[in-house]
Structure 1
Amino acid sequence: MTTGKPSVLFVCIHNAGRSQMAQGFLIHLAGDAIHAHSAGSDPAATINPAAVEAMTELGIDISAQTPKKLTYAAVEAADVVITMGCGDACPVLPGTTYRDWQLDDPAGKGVDAVRPIRDQIQQRVQQLVDELLGART
C-alpha cells in the first residue's frame, strides 16, 4: 500500500450501479480517510435510477455521479481494486491488491430488487473500511 491514504477503485461493467453504490458507501463510511473511485469497462450513459433511489433511502446521494471509463491510470493509482463483474477488461498490475465481489447486476431491476444488492455492498464496504483503517470501537 502506498504511503498516506489508501486508494480504492470499484470496477463493474457499466459503472452505473454496483460500483457507484460501493463508492458512495466508502465515502459515507470512511470520509476522506480513504480515496474512493469507481469506473466501468463499458460505462453506461447514466447512473441506474434504482441504485440512486436505494442509496437515497439510506441518506446517501449518488445522483450527481456519472459513469466513468476504466483507465490504466485509475488502476495504477489504486491500492485496492474491487471488481464486480468487469472480467478480463480490468488490467492487473503488480503491487495492487485485487478482490472480486460476486454480486448481482442491478441493471434493469427495480428498487425492490436493488435493495438486497445494496445491502450486500454496504456490508462488504464496511468490512473493507475496517480492514484498511482498523476496526472501530
Structure 2
Amino acid sequence: MKAKVAFICVHNSCRSQMAEALGKLFASDVFESYSAGTELTPQINQDAVRIIKNLYNIDMNKTQKSKLLGDIPPVDIVIKMGCNVVCPYLPGKHIEDWGLDDPSGKSDEEFIKTAKAIEEKVKDLSKRIKNNEINLG
C-alpha cells in the first residue's frame, strides 16, 4: 500500500500545489500526493501554474484546486512547505518542514528555483520511503 503524503501551507496556492503536481509526476509509484491549507484561494497562483506548465507540461489549473486540510484523506507523511508564520497542523506518522521561501510576487527565476528545489526534495522523499528510511509503522 502506498504512503499518503500531504504538502501543506496556509493558502494552498503556490508551493504546496507545485509539490502536489511534482509528487504525482515523479513519485506516484511510491506515494499518493495531496496538498492543502487552512485558507482557500479562488485559484492557484498563476505564475506557479505557468512555470510548472513550461517546465513539466502539467496544467495545474486542470488537475488541481485549492483545498482545505479537511478536504484530503488522513495521511502518513506531512510536509510543511516553510511557513514563516504558523504552519497549519495536520497529524502524520512523519512530519518535516522543507523551509522553502514563497516565490509569490517574485521573478520567474524564483519560481523556477522553487520548482527545481521541490523536484529534488520530492525525489529524495520518494527514495527515503522506498529505502524504508522513514518509519511509517
Q: TM-score, normalised by structure 1?
A: 0.82
| 1:56-106 CA distance string (max 9 Å, x none) | 1222321222111122x74x7111000121725314x3x621101111112
Task: Determine the structure 2 residue equivalent to 1:90.
Answer: 89
Task: Determine the structure 1 residue equivalent to 2:113.
Answer: 116
Deviation at 1:32, TM superposition (A): 4.7
Q: Percent identity?
A: 33
Q: Which runs of 4+ in 1 moved over 3 A?
A: none
RMSD over equivalenced CA pairs, Å: 2.1
Task: Determine the structure 2 residue equivalent to 1:79.
Answer: 76
Q: Distance in 1 between matches of 2:28 and 2:117?
A: 20
Structure 2 contact 8–88 (Cα < 8 Å) conserved? no
Q: Distance in 2 between matches of 1:121 and 1:88?
A: 18
The structure 2 residue matched to 1:40, chosen from 31, 37, 41, is 37
Aligned length: 128
Unaligned runs of 5+ in 2: 132-137
Range moving further from structure 2, 40-49 or 17-26:
40-49
Q: Distance in 1 between matches of 2:67 and 2:106?
A: 21
Q: Please tell me the residue identity of whatever aligns with 2:60.
A: I
Q: TM-score, normalised by structure 2?
A: 0.82
Task: Determine the structure 2 residue equivalent to 1:68.
Answer: 67
Unaligned runs of 5+ in 1: none
